[in-house]
Amino acid sequence: MGQSKRCKPHLEDVWLNSYIKMNNEKIMELRKIANEIRKESLIMIHKAQSGHPGGSLSEADILSALFFYKLKINPKNPDWEERDRFILSKGHASPAYYAALAMKGFFGKKELESYRKINGLLQGHPELKIPGVDYAGGSLGQGVSVANGIALAGKIDKKSYKVYVLIGDGESQEGIVWEASMSAAFYKLDNLIYILDKNQVQQTGTTKEVMDLGNVAEKWKSFGFNVIEINGHDMLQIIDALDKACSLKEKPTMIIANTIKGKGVSFMELNHKFHGKAPNDEELKKAMEELKLD
């Protein structure tokens, strides 16, 4: 007897299974990249005995999704006019940014050894001389205003690029962030995507203790933004949010990524002492052991 029709897979089922497999493989790849970003960040900071591990670890998953899934960029032509722009407004969390740039091919991985060295390419905050960097981050809050300007220029010039800006929750205590948010909504910058690394901790304690931001989702909605709230360590949620943000019109978008400062290293997680403290030899060894993926 011939095979029953009901036993034959539908074309839709074949496509769906293929899509799920491809999606799962991509998710695993992005997770591994995020883990490598964390490792390279800690190695850099340990070697320099200076830097900010907590915020670098919390943003690693977001950077992996941006640089290896979403951003329209070309490492062989960093100044390509049609490229998407990325701004790290919380510029002190540069180690993870540098690791992502090196892994993407903007410069050799060996260059990571220059982190915070005198005359080295990679200093504590990003500089425009670094291939792939669109904003020289320093003072907190200023990156959002620069992002607004780049997005508005894109609108005026009728360009298709998107502008992504990563900010911190401690940084969001700055008044300039809210002034920029008003401006972004007023000009209907739907090519602009803010991402909040809401890692709960800043230099001297938790954000709730220092200056509670309250209901940030409602705040950004009231300022005229589309708001998407996610688990900032769930890779599927991150890429879904990035895809959705690109399709929304008439308003800028805020992706609130709920994260954990120091993510992946038990003694750094939610520990404000590792906001700007380099690990010693023993701590680095323990961190590397904890960051092993199955």
CATH number at residue 89: 3.40.50.970
Structural domain harbouring 276: 11-290
Q: Examine residue 191 and state whether it is found in any structural domain, yes or no.
A: yes
Q: Examine residue 199 and state whether it is found in any structural domain, yes or no.
A: yes
Q: Which residues of 258-277 are buried (b: 16+ CB within 10 A; e: fewer)?
A: bbbbbbbbeebbebbebbbb
Confidence category of residue 19, pLDDT binned at 50, 70, 90: low
Structure tokens of 205?
A: 């304690």
Give the residue among 257, 269, 279 at the shortest CA–CA distance from 48.
279
Give yes or no for residue 40 having a pLDDT over 80.
Answer: yes
CA distances from 88 to 40, 83, 206, 292 (A): 18, 16, 21, 27
pTM: predicted TM-score of the whole model, two decimal places: 0.91
Q: Examine residue 2 and state whether it is found in any structural domain, yes or no.
A: no
Q: Examine residue 6 and state whether it is found in any structural domain, yes or no.
A: no
What was the pLDDT predicted at 23? 80
Q: Where are the beta strands (DSSP E) in 56-183?
A: 85-88, 163-168
- Please tell me the total count of domains within the chain: 1
- φ/ψ of residue 163, rounded to 5: -120, 120
Q: Examine residue 4 and state whether it is found in any structural domain, yes or no.
A: no
* Largest distance between two CA atoms of the chain: 79
Confidence category of residue 24, pLDDT binned at 50, 70, 90: confident
Q: Examine residue 1 and state whether it is found in any structural domain, yes or no.
A: no
Q: Examine residue 5 and state whether it is found in any structural domain, yes or no.
A: no
Q: Examine residue 3 and state whether it is found in any structural domain, yes or no.
A: no
Q: How high is the mean pLDDT of the chain?
A: 92
What was the pLDDT predicted at 1? 39
What was the pLDDT predicted at 111? 97
In tens, the pLDDT along 178-231 reads 999 999 999 999 999 999 999 999 999 999 999 999 999 999 999 999 999 999
